[in-house]
Amino acid sequence: MQLSLEPVALKPSNPCSSTGLKDEQIEPAVRDILADTQIIDVHTHLYPASFGHLGLWGIDELLTYHYLEAEFFRSSEMTPEQYWSLSKLQQADAIWKVLFVENCPLSEATRGVVAVLTAFGLPTGSDGLADARAFFQARDAEVHIREVLHMAGVETVVMTNDPLDEEEAAVWMSNVHRDRQFRAVLRLDRLVREWSQPWDRLASQGYEVDDQGSTHCIKEIRRFLEDWCETMQPVYMALSLPDSFKFPDESVRGRIFREAVVPLCREFDLPLSLMIGVRRQVNPKIRLAGDAVGRADLRVLENLCREFPDNRFMVSVLSRENQHELCVYARKFNNLTPFGCWWFLNNPSIVEEITRERIEMLGASFIPQHSDARILEQLIYKWRNTRRTLTPILSHTFRLALADGYPVTRERIRREVERLFRSNFEQCTRKRQESSLEYPV
């Protein structure tokens, strides 16, 4: 007998379900509410206009996005060396020709560019980029940023800020104007994962550090983090970690993590975001496009969440094979919040699989997605695609709840959608993301 997946209607327990939605009303309601909900995008590489050219936008940046570069090198005879010798415009022309003219844009990333052009009423089938370039060149950055955030239905963008990036540090030190829609994050990859390099830079900034990570050095690293927390007012601290990440780990790196980063997060009441499973530069010739994924041993989360119950951990894992374990650990530790379908997972078929599993195991107590946008206009297609992928998943879940006898109403759908895309993050950061007054500037 073929098992039908259609929800079987059971007699609803609450007689007042008349105010509730009927089965066929649920999907339109979910679609509307997802469209209305202003998103908090918890992880991006975007910057406000006040950070100048650190903020990437426009057609040439969209086309030379490392996702498209990876796809370009698969379909072009051009070598990476030849490609890197070109100007940004020539690189964009080469990618447009190979991925959009000589071949159809079928991948998630190439279709994303087409969706952005369509959103601005620009041609998508032309051989050249003259119209698109003229359009973006005529835009005022500040106006364009607001419009794109509005088009994407994104209220707050959370940045990725590296205090050891000299260019970015100089902007922060210039007392840059803070944009209320862009929140800072203290990103610590260089500090923790590559200590052998930056320690002299901290020394040049007046911190008495050493490459051995002595007790005094750890104290100075804490002072460095305190200073940057004052400067950036971050909403969380963040680290991306390889698949080989171990905790506990007695190396200098492990001690900086345990004795400086984790305690500082507690002191500043900040969550620590761990993005685990990236294998950096497996093919350095293609630069940012050269990173890959590895399955991690997630027992590190057991050790961390158990040893530091007063710390809050936001965790995203890059390997598809790690997703189920992450859900199970989140059921064991309420100081662990799974977030996003990171990077190579940000494809509808995988987002669907991960999100269904998370809802079945965690209800709405996780953060389903972040855009990881590096170029501003990517917000438009990444959030449209997320809303498009999640509508049938959430609708199916609410229809199952109705079939089991739970009175589903618009208000209840809205509350859960707000939880997924706003209040889970607000609770985790203990900060309400009003883009008006709440935040110190």
| Site residue total, ligand FIX (CB under 6 A) | 7
In the list 111, 146, 374, 396, the residue contacting ligand FIX (rule: CB under 6 A) is 374
Residue corresponding to tokens 């007998």: 1
Of 155 and 372, CB closest to ligand FIX = 372
Q: At closest approach, how far in Å is the CB of 87 from ligand FIX?
A: 22
Report the length, in residues, of the chain: 441
Partner whose footprint covers residue 374, from ligand FIX, Zn ion, none (CB < 5 to 8 Å by kind): ligand FIX
Site string for ligand FIX, 99-138 (x = CB under 6 A): ----------------------------------------
The reply on whether position 291 binds Zn ion by CB under 5 A is no
Of 187 and 399, CB closest to Zn ion = 187
For the record, the structure tokens of 148 come out as: 């794109």
Residue type, 70: A
Q: At closest approach, how far in Å is the CB of 343 from ligand FIX?
A: 4
The reply on whether position 179 binds ligand FIX by CB under 6 A is no
Of 54 and 288, CB closest to ligand FIX = 288
Alpha carbon 309 to chain centroid, angstroms: 24
Q: At closest approach, how far in Å is the CB of 160 from Zn ion?
A: 6
Q: Supply φ then ψ for residue 28, to 5 degrees.
A: -60, -35
Residues 83, 68, 90: CA angle, nearest 5 degrees: 35
Partner whose footprint covers residue 288, from ligand FIX, Zn ion, none (CB < 5 to 8 Å by kind): ligand FIX
Site string for ligand FIX, 26-65 (x = CB under 6 A): ----------------------------------------
The reply on whether position 372 binds ligand FIX by CB under 6 A is yes
Of 189 and 418, CB closest to ligand FIX = 189
Of 288 and 403, CB closest to ligand FIX = 288
Site string for Zn ion, 358-377 (x = CB under 5 A): --------------x-----
Of 179 and 372, CB closest to Zn ion = 372
Site string for ligand FIX, 264-283 (x = CB under 6 A): -----------x--------
The reply on whether position 288 binds ligand FIX by CB under 6 A is yes
Q: Supply φ then ψ for residue 333, to 5 degrees.
A: -130, 115
Which residues within the stretch 330-359 sit at the binding site for ligand FIX (CB under 6 A)?
A: 343
- Residue 345 contacts residue 371 (beta carbons within 8 Å): no
Of 89 and 292, CB closest to ligand FIX = 292
Q: At closest approach, how far in Å is the CB of 109 from ligand FIX?
A: 10
The reply on whether position 295 binds ligand FIX by CB under 6 A is no
Of 160 and 322, CB closest to ligand FIX = 160
The reply on whether position 240 binds ligand FIX by CB under 6 A is yes
Partner whose footprint covers residue 162, from Zn ion, ligand FIX, none (CB < 5 to 8 Å by kind): none
Chain residues binding Zn ion by CB under 5 A are: 372
The residues of the shown chain that bind ligand FIX, judged by CB under 6 A, are: 160, 240, 275, 288, 343, 372, 374
